[in-house]
């Protein structure tokens, strides 16, 4: 093995272990937070939404790291420094993109008869609106950690794009391994969705697309349709959904994210982002060459 490959492997190992370290530091504190939630007499829907705010402890551990390691601080705050116009543009596009992807998956499962959506579930509107913030915060924390830090630090410090993307996607999938129903198909699905978020971050130069796409996907499957989010069952939702079985389109144990349909949709989304991203790259290079 030559010195360059050794350096790349060393860099991947260091970044992976750093991210693993501050994630699991927050994880052990979050467990106590979850125990506290379980001991309180909260409404089930409100408690479910509050579980998403457990990512505050991951965020806190990242902030401790950023405070102590100045040279890496910019990875955690770069999305705040983006131009307001870019935040809005990519935020809206990401929201629509994520909503479209989950809608296609739910439609496929519904048409195949794996799930039946029966109309309003009569969920508490205040809780459902509060959940928007909770899911947004959870998605933001995961994107800062898995894309801005894990991918961003590796790629900026010399790890080639494909290995950096693969490690970021693997890290994202691996962190869901303790979820109910996790297995081969959920692993692959989360791997492909992780790669999709990396591609958007890489080509658009903005984390906001990934944050809002992630938010739309999680919120809609959990609080809109009442389906499991990465294997974790919903507690309150706008719609009442009945599950009839598993197929290409749906997995009874892990939900939409355990299906071949979701994997195929995310692979197609990756190809779409590559095409769009390369078009944007050529456009920027042409404008640069013309001095625009």
Q: Is residue 244 over pLDDT 60? A: yes
Residue 272, SS3 per DSSP? helix
* pLDDT above 90: percentage of residues in the chain: 86
Backbone angles phi, psi at 61, to 5 degrees: -70, -35
Confidence of residue 142 (pLDDT cuts 50, 70, 90): very high
Block residue for tokens 């658009």: 204
Show Cβ contacts of residue 65 under 8 Å, excluding neighbours closer than 6 positions. 18, 22, 72
DSSP string, 173-216: HHTTTTSTT--HHHHHHHHHHHHHHHHHHHHHS-SHHHHHHHHH
Give the whole-angstrom CA distance, residue 179 versus residue 33: 17
Nearest to 255 by CA among 194, 196, 179, 142: 179
CB distance 55 to 141 below 8 Å: yes
CA distances (Å), 131 to each of 30, 127, 215, in order? 18, 6, 11
SS3 236: coil
- Note the pLDDT of residue 291: 62
Read off the pLDDT of residues 251-280 as tens digits, 9 standing for 90 and up.
999 999 999 999 999 999 999 999 999 998
Distance (Å) of CA 38 to CA 45, 46, 231: 12, 12, 19
Which distant-in-sequence residues (6+ apart) come within 8 Å of 214 by Cβ?
94, 98, 139, 142, 143, 197
Name the pTM for this structure.
Answer: 0.95
Distance (Å, whole) CA 201 – CA 169: 13
Burial of residue 42 (number of CB atoms within 10 Å: 0-12, 13-18, 19+): middle
Q: What is the pLDDT of residue 284?
A: 78
Angle ∠(61,176,13) on CA atoms, nearest 5: 60
pLDDT at 227 over 60: yes
**What is the C-alpha separation between 128 and 241, in angstroms, rounded?**
16
Query: In which region does residue 181 sit, left (phi positive, over 0), alpha (psi from -120 to 50) or beta (all else)?
Result: left
The residue with greater pLDDT, 2 or 267, is 267
Q: What pLDDT was estimated at residue 87?
A: 93
What per-residue confidence (pLDDT) applies to 119? Answer: 78
Q: How many residues does the chain have?
A: 292
| pLDDT tens track for 69-123 | 999 999 999 899 888 999 999 999 999 999 999 999 999 999 999 999 987 777 7
* Termini Cα distance of the chain: 44
Q: How many CA atoms lie within 13 A of 211 on its CB side?
A: 23
* 164-211 pLDDT per residue, tens: 999 999 999 999 999 999 999 999 999 999 999 999 999 999 999 999
């Amino acid at each position: 093995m030559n010195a360059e490959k050794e350096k790349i492997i060393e860099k991947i190992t260091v970044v992976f272990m750093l991210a693993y370290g501050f994630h699991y530091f927050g994880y052990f504190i979050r467990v106590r937070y979850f125990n506290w939630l379980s001991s309180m007499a909260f409404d089930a829907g409100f408690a479910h939404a509050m579980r998403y705010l457990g990512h505050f402890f991951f965020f806190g551990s990242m902030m401790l790291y950023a405070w102590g390691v100045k040279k890496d601080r910019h990875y955690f705050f770069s999305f705040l420094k983006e131009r307001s116009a870019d935040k809005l543009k990519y935020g809206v596009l990401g929201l629509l993109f994520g909503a479209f992807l989950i809608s296609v998956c739910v439609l496929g499962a519904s048409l195949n008869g794996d799930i039946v959506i029966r109309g309003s579930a009569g969920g508490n509107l205040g809780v459902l609106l509060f959940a928007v913030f909770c899911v947004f915060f959870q998605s933001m924390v995961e994107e800062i950690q898995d894309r801005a830090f894990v991918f961003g630090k590796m790629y900026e410090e010399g790890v080639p794009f494909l290995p950096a993307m693969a490690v970021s996607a693997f890290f994202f999938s691996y962190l869901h391994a303790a979820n109910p129903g996790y297995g081969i198909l959920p692993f692959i699905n989360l791997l492909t969705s992780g790669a999709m978020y990396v591609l958007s971050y890489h080509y658009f130069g903005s984390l906001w697309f990934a944050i809002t796409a992630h938010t739309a996907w999680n919120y809609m499957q959990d609080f809109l349709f009442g389906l499991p989010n990465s294997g974790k069952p919903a507690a309150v939702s706008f719609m009442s959904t009945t599950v009839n079985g598993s197929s290409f389109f749906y997995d009874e144990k892990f939900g939409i994210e355990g299906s071949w349909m979701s994997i195929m949709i995310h692979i197609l989304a990756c190809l779409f982002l590559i095409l769009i991203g390369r078009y944007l790259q050529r456009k920027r290079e042409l404008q640069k060459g013309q001095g625009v």
